[in-house]
Amino acid sequence: MLGALGDEWTLLLVRQAALGATRYGDFAARLPISHAVLSRRLKVMTADGLLTQRAYQDNPPRSEYLLTARGRALWPMLTTIWEWERHWVPDHAERLPAMRHLTCGAHFAPLMTCRACGESCSEKDLHAMWGPSGSWPRSMPVESTRRRPSGLSAPHVRGSDAKGAAGLFPETMNILGNRWAFALLVAAFVGTTRFSDFQRQLGASPGSLTDRLQIFTSCGVLSLAKGHYRLTEKGRAVLPVLITALQWAQRWYVSPEGPAVTLAHTGCGAPFEAVLTCDQCTERLHGSDIRADPKLD
C-alpha cells in the first residue's frame, strides 16, 4: 500500500481522475507537474492497477487513463485526507476548498462510523489485533517508498508555480511518504509511547526513528513530555486516514493466510468496518456525491 500510494502526485492524480480527468493534457492542465514526472507516474499507476489505458485515437496513437475499480476505491481515503489537511494543516499556498455533499447540499465533514451499528468511532472505541498474516516485521516495507526528500514542502512544479508553492497534502506525505512513519503512527495509536518501545517493535534504526519522531512533534501530531510521545488532538484526527488506507490495502492486496490486522468495535462487539457518513444529514457518503466547493462556510 505504501509503495503504491507513498507519493503525493499519485494521490493528486487519482483525485483528478475521480473528478473527470482522463487524458494526459487534462492532468497536465490541472496540476503543476512536469511532463517527465507526469509520464512516469501515469506509467507506474497503470502498472500498479490504479489506472487502465484505453485508446481513443489511432493516428497518431493516443490513449486516455481511466480509474480502475482499485483506483476508484480510494475515494474514502482521499476524502479523509482532504478533511484532515483542510482542518489541521494551515501551511497551504491557498486554503483547500470545502467539500459539499450533493445529497443534502451542505458543506460537510466525513464521520467514521461502524458499519454494524452505525455509531461514530474514535481510537478509544476500537480494538486492533494482528491477523494471520500480520506482525510488525512483516508490515515493514523492504524498500523506501517513492517520495520527495523530507523537508521539501511541495512536489516538483513547473515554471513560476515552483516559487513558494505548497503541496496539497504536505503533512499527509509525512505519514504516507516514508517507510517508517505510517507504522510509527499506528504504534502510537495502540499505546506505544517510549523511544525504546518504538524501536523494539518497528526495528527502525535510531536515526530513522529520531527523524520521524521529530517531524511528528514539530508538526503537532505527537507531543513529547517526560520521555513519552503521545498523540495530540491533531494526531488522533489522523485515525480515519489510517483506517481507510488499511481497509483499502486489505481489500486489494489480499494475503491467502488472512488479513494482517483485524479490528473490533468495542461499542457493539462486531468486527469493525469503517463507513463514512455526512456530519450534516448523517447519510452514508458515496464518492460520486462529493464535490469540492471553493465557497467556504
6, 145 Cβ separation under 8 angstroms: yes
Residue 86 burial by Cβ neighbours in a 10 Å radius (0-12, 13-18, 19+): middle
Residue 145: inside a domain, yes or no? no
Q: How far apart are CA 125 and CA 266, in angstroms?
A: 5
Residue 48: inside a domain, yes or no? no
Residue 170: inside a domain, yes or no? no
Residue 128 domain boundaries:
73-140+180-297
Cell of 193: 509511547
Residue 204: inside a domain, yes or no? yes
Beta bridge partners of 229: 224
Query: Can you give the pLDDT at residue 93?
Result: 63
The structure's pTM equals: 0.88
Q: Nearest to residue 221, comparing CAs of 196, 178, 195, 189?
A: 189
Distances (CA, A) of 165 to 130, 158, 201, 279: 40, 10, 37, 32
Domain count, the chain: 1
Query: Can you give the pLDDT at residue 273?
Result: 97
Query: Can you give the pLDDT at residue 156?
Result: 40
Q: How far apart are CA 185 and CA 170, in angstroms?
A: 16
Residue 249: inside a domain, yes or no? yes
Residue 197: inside a domain, yes or no? yes
Q: How far apart are CA 292 and CA 297, in angstroms?
A: 13
Query: Can you give the pLDDT at residue 292?
Result: 85
Kindly list the averaged pLDDT for each block of 10 residues, start to end, along the chain of length 297.
86 90 94 93 96 90 94 96 91 80 96 97 93 83 46 37 51 84 92 95 91 95 97 97 95 92 96 97 94 68
Which CATH number is 267's domain given?
Answer: 1.10.10.10
Cell of 51: 489506472
Q: How far apart are CA 285 and CA 238, in angstroms?
A: 19
